[in-house]
Amino acid sequence: MSLNSAVRSESFDESVKALRQDAVKDSFFANGDGPWTIIYDEWFIKCRDNGGQFIALSQLNMRERVIRDVGWDVRKGEGIPGFVDHGTEVSYFKSGSLPEFEPLVVLQEFFGVVPDEVNISEDFRFLMRLWRDPKSGNYYEIQESGDKELAIRISGERIEVRTPLLKRYLAARQLDAVLYIDSNVGVDYDGDPADLADLDEEAFSVENLTCYSRNVWRDMSQSGRIWTRFLAKRIIKAPPRERCRIWPWDKVAADEYPEFIISEDEYGEPVRWTCNPDSLRNYYGKNPDAPHYLTPVFFKPEVLSRYYDSDDYEVRDAYLSCGQLWGVNLDNGCLDYVSVFLGDIGRDIPQSHWDHWKAYNIAPIGRMSDAAIRRSFFNQSVESGNPEHRFKRAYRDLQEKWEEAWGWRLHRRAEELDAGVFSRLRIPVNETEAEFRAQSHNLALILVDLLNEKSLIQGMDRVSDERGLAKLKRFLENNEYEYVDRDISLLKKVQQMRSRIAAHASGSGGRAFLDKELGDRSHREYFVELIEESTQMLLDLQRFAMSHASALGG
C-alpha cells in the first residue's frame, strides 16, 4: 500500500467513525437511565452536524405502534391550541396530537419577530408543584416539607428534567414517555457513496421498547460532503400509579415510621418507640400498652439550626413552621434541649425530615419547660422564659411603642440580604466559636447597624462623622433618658463582639478580647447574659417611649 493510499484509508476510517454516530446512539439510549433526562435540545454546527431531541407522552396502548416507525409522532410546535374547520362547523382543539400523544414541552414560535419560547406543560408544572426561578429560569419542585429541589434545569437550548420526578408524573398520569432524537453528521468525502452502504441500518426492539434508523445521504448543494441521519425513539414505561406518591397514594406505611428514644431502661439503655400516631395510646383507650401520644421526645438544640438558617422556615416560641405547608408544636423553652410530642413527630413533621430529627435525638435529660407544661396540659396562656423569646418579644414591642411615641421606629426593618436576621438570631445551639461568631454578628446587626440614624438626629444639629451610637446617645440625653451610659456601654460591647470577634476571627487581639470577656463562662453562658442585658435595655427603652407618649397625650 502506498503512503497516499494509507492516508486515504485512515481518512476513510475516520469518516466512517464519525458517520456511524455510535456515541450519539449510546448516549441517546442511555437517556432516561441516569439522574437527569434530556427532554429538549437543539444543536447546529454549520457543515458539520445538527439535530435535536424531544419528548412526548403517549397512551400505554401505543407502544408497539410507536417503536415500529422511527418517525417522530409529534413535532416540536405541537401543543398550541387552535381551530379546525370541518366544513359544516368549526371546533376548538387543545393539541392536534391528542388523545394519543401529549407534549411535555411546547415550542411557541414567533417567526423571528421576537425570540421563540419553550414552555413546560402546565399539567406537569401544576401537578408536580414546580416553581420557576425568575433569575435562572430553572424549575424547582416545592416538596411537602417545603424544601426546594432542582427539578428542571435549562442550559442554552438543552432542557433536562430529574428522572425520578418524570417517572412519578408518568405513574400519576399512567402515560409512557417517548424520547426522540434526530441527529445529522456530515464529513468531507469525495469517494463513492456505495462504499458506505453498510452504514444504512434499521432496527426495533419490542423487548427494549426502542427503534432506530441510520441512513447515508449526500447533500447535492455541498459538493464533496456526505451525511448520515440517525433517527431513534425510546419509550420509558409508566411505573405503577402508586409510585407517584401523590394523594391518595402518598400514605406512609406503618413500617416506614422511625423509632425515637423516649426513655432509658434499668440498665441505662435507650428505649425506642415508633412515632406512628396510629400505634400510640390516647385518652380514649386506644393502644393501652403503648406509650402515650403526648410522650415528649428530646433533641439536641442543634436540631433547629437548619430551620433557623433558612428563610423558608420560621422558629418561634413553641412552634416550627414552613409557610403554610406544615407546622409542629414543640417545646423550645429550655436552653439545653428541644422536645416534641412523639405523636406530633409522625403526624406533623414531614417524612423527609425524620432522619434529620433522629440524628439529634437524645435520651430524656430533663423535663418539659414550665411554660410548655402549662400550655399543653392546663390550657394556660403563659410567656416563655427562654431568653431568646423574651428578647424578641421585647424588641418587637419596643418598635411598636417607639413609633407611637415619636412616629418612627427606633430600628429600621432589615432588608435584602439582612431580611432574615431577626429570625436567625438565637442562643448559640452549641459551644463552637463559629456559632458564637454568627450570633454575635446577628445581635450587633439587629441592635446597632439597624438603628434609625436619620430619624434620631431630626431636629438636632449635625455633627461631622458622628456614628450611630453617638447619635443615639445624643438623642437619649436630649430626652432625659435614665440609663444612657449603661445602654450605650452595652451596645458598644455588642458592637465590639462583632467587630473584634465575628468579623476578625483571626489574630491575637480578637482572642485576647474574647478571653477577657468570657472569663470562666462558656460561649453560651456569656451570650445568654448578653441577651438578658439587652432585653432589660429594650424593656427600659419601651417604658421610656411609653412615658414620652403619655406626656404628649396628657
Distance set, CA 272 to CA 256, 342, 361, 363, 523 (Å): 15, 11, 10, 10, 33
Domain boundaries, the chain: 14-80+94-243, 259-378, 387-553
- Tell me how far apart the alpha carbons of residues 146 and 328 are, in angstroms, rounded to a whole number: 13
In tens, the pLDDT along 324-363 reads 999 999 999 999 999 999 999 999 999 999 999 999 999 9
Which single residue is written with the C-alpha cell 408518568?
170
In tens, the pLDDT along 108-140 reads 989 999 999 999 999 999 999 999 999 999 999
442 pairs with which residues across the strands? Answer: none
In tens, the pLDDT along 307-333 reads 999 999 999 999 999 999 999 999 999
1: confidence class by pLDDT, cuts 50, 70, 90: very low
Per-chain mean pLDDT for the chain? 92
In tens, the pLDDT along 90-105 reads 988 887 777 899 999 9
In tens, the pLDDT along 62-72 reads 999 999 999 99
- Distance from the first to the final alpha carbon of the chain: 114
Q: Number of helices (H) and strands (E) in the chain: give both, helices first.
A: 17, 23
In tens, the pLDDT along 233-291 reads 999 999 999 999 999 999 999 999 999 999 999 999 999 999 999 999 999 999 999 99
3-state secondary structure 249-304: CCCCCHHHCCEEEEEECCCCCEEEEECCHHHCECCCCCCCCCCECCCEEEECHHHH
Q: What is the pTM of this model?
A: 0.85
- Tell me how far apart the alpha carbons of residues 360 and 298 are, in angstroms, rounded to a whole number: 8
